[in-house]
Amino acid sequence: MKKAWDVTVNGTVHKVEYRAGFGVKILVNGNAYKTRSQNWFINMIDYPITIDGAEIRIVAIGNKIDLAVNGRYLGSGEEYVPLNKMPVMGNVFMGISIIGGFLMTKWLGFLIGVLFSFLYASLGLKGKNGAMIGAFVGCVLIQVALMFGVAYLLVMLGAY
C-alpha cells in the first residue's frame, strides 16, 4: 500500500509518502524512515515529522491512513488526536477479542475480533469508553453464540 502527499511549508513543496508491505516506510523528500506499529494486533502508526517548523504526522489505523499538518487531518479535516490517547483497556479488548475469538471458533472468531478491534480503536480515540465497553460485550456475545452454534452443528452432524 502506498499513499503520497505534497505538503507546502513556507512556500516550499515537500513530498511525504507512506509505504507498507513487509515493514512500513515513511519517505520525506526521498529520505526513508522505518517505523512500526504501536499495537500488536492492528496497524497503528503515529509518526512525527518536523519540516521548517511545521508539525506533520502520518497516522495509520489499519488501512486508513491520513496526514495531519499543524493539528488538522488533510483528508477528513478533523482535529488530530494522538494515538497514545487510546485507553489501555482498548488494547486489552483487542487482544481478548482476537485471541479469544480464534480459540473459540478459529478463523471466523479471529476475523470478528479483528473487525471489532478497529471499532475499539475508533471509539477509544474519540474518548467514548462506555461505547467501547458495549462493543466489547457485543463482540464477546457474538463469538460465544457462534461457538455454541458451531458446536451444535458438529453434534447434529455426528462429527463430534
pLDDT tens digit sequence for 82-93 = 888 888 899 899
Average pLDDT value over all residues in the chain = 90
The residues, any chain, with a CB within 8 Å of residue 18's CB and separated by 6 or more, are 1, 2, 3, 4, 24, 25, 26, 58, 60, 65
Average pLDDT over residues 46-70: 89
56, β-bridge pairs: 49, 69
User: How much is the pLDDT for 100?
Assistant: 94
Per residue in 86-142, pLDDT (tens digit) is: 888 998 999 999 999 999 999 999 999 999 999 998 899 888 999 999 999 999 999
Per residue in 3-52, pLDDT (tens digit) is: 999 888 888 899 999 998 888 899 998 888 889 888 887 888 999 988 88
Taking alpha carbons only, the member of 112, 117, 74, 70 closest to residue 92 is 117
CB contact at 8 A, 72 and 80? yes
**155 pLDDT above the threshold of 80:** yes
- Backbone φ and ψ for 70, nearest 5 degrees, come out as 50, 45
Taking alpha carbons only, the member of 98, 109, 111 closest to residue 39 is 98
Quickly tell me which residue has 494515538 as its cell: 83
pTM score of the predicted model: 0.74
User: How much is the pLDDT for 36?
Assistant: 87
The residues, any chain, with a CB within 8 Å of residue 84's CB and separated by 6 or more, are 38, 46
